[in-house]
Amino acid sequence: MKEFLKGEVTMGDADLYQVVVNSLSAHVAILNEQGVILETNEAWQEYARANGMKEGWDCVGINYYSVCRGGDSNHLDDAGSVVRGIEKVARGELQEFFHQYPCHSPDEKRWFVVRVVPYRDEEVQRVIVTHEDITPVMMVQEELKRKEVELLRQRERLEETNIALKVLLRQRDEDKTRIEETIYTNVDRLVLPYVERLLQGKLTEQQRTLAEVVESNLREITEPFLHTLAGIKVMLTPQEIEVANMVRGGRSSKEIAEMLNLSVSGVDFHRKSLRRKLGLTNSPQNLRSYLMSLE
């Protein structure tokens, strides 16, 4: 062991100490009160060799403060913080100093954390400096940040897509309303006048009845009844809708039967089915009155 350990422990203890310190993955150095390196472990020495140091890999005798202050200009702030932290621990102002810093090379990104604690000896004033490679942890954090940014971008894209969809849906509704208004206007102005003229002519009773049904149904296009009836949460068959429309128009079962080519009993069956589906089975309310109220 080095001179600074003599008299502190037995030789067997010194050997054990050396084995333990050299087994650490952290780069360990012991400094005196002036910042001069007194001892380093194998991890520190291997790092010095790997980073181009020609000789004196143990760095013993080198002033660590001077090395920090004369380092890469890009890392002067980190180096200054480390030196001030070591000095405070050496003076007893701090029990421990901890600092994380980047140490990138042209080939790879690396991060280290430096930890400084006092050397436990009442007769000498020294500090223990360790540098631990935390690159794997930082790489995971970098990847998490990258994924967080990507998720944020995806969320922004989804929000933009949702806005675009809302605009399209609103446009679709506006188009639908415009088309409906056009249909209603055209039926009212271009079709119904001719049906009215037809009804003023000489027609047989059956022809007049059919023409009146045509007129009635066309007028329904411009009224909300069929839309309301279709929106009721019951399953009405197409023929039930036809019967409901004619009942609302005041047609008798006989008239409906003739127009739909059904028997009177068949029309009555549809009437009962409508009452059941519309919840009127046990109600005294008139079916036609109910259907007219749907407007």
pLDDT one-digit tens code per residue, 145-159: 999 999 999 999 999
Give dist(CA 22, CA 19) in Å, integer.
5
Residue 167: count of CB within 10 angstroms of its CB: 10
Where does the pLDDT of residue 1 fall: very low under 50, low under 70, confident under 90, or very high at 90 and above?
Answer: very low
Whether this prediction's pTM lies above 0.85 is answered by no
Q: Is the dihedral of CA 16, 21, 22, 24 positive or negative?
A: positive
Indicate the burial class of 210 (C-beta count within 10 angstroms; 0-12, 13-18, 19 or more).
middle
Where does the pLDDT of residue 261 fall: very low under 50, low under 70, confident under 90, or very high at 90 and above?
Answer: confident
Query: Does the pLDDT of residue 209 top 80, yes or no?
Result: yes
Q: What percent of the chain has pLDDT over 70?
A: 85
Return the pLDDT at 143: 92
Give dist(CA 153, CA 266) in Å, integer.
63
Where does the pLDDT of residue 9 fall: very low under 50, low under 70, confident under 90, or very high at 90 and above?
Answer: very low
Return the pLDDT at 165: 92
Which residue ranges form the domains of the chain, and what is each CATH number? 3-133 (3.30.450.20), 223-295 (1.10.10.10)
Give dist(CA 109, CA 68) in Å, integer.
20
Mean of all residue pLDDT scores within the chain = 83
Query: Does the pLDDT of residue 81 top 70, yes or no?
Result: yes
Give dist(CA 68, CA 86) in Å, integer.
11
Give dist(CA 10, CA 12) in Å, integer.
5
Query: Does the pLDDT of residue 172 top 60, yes or no?
Result: yes
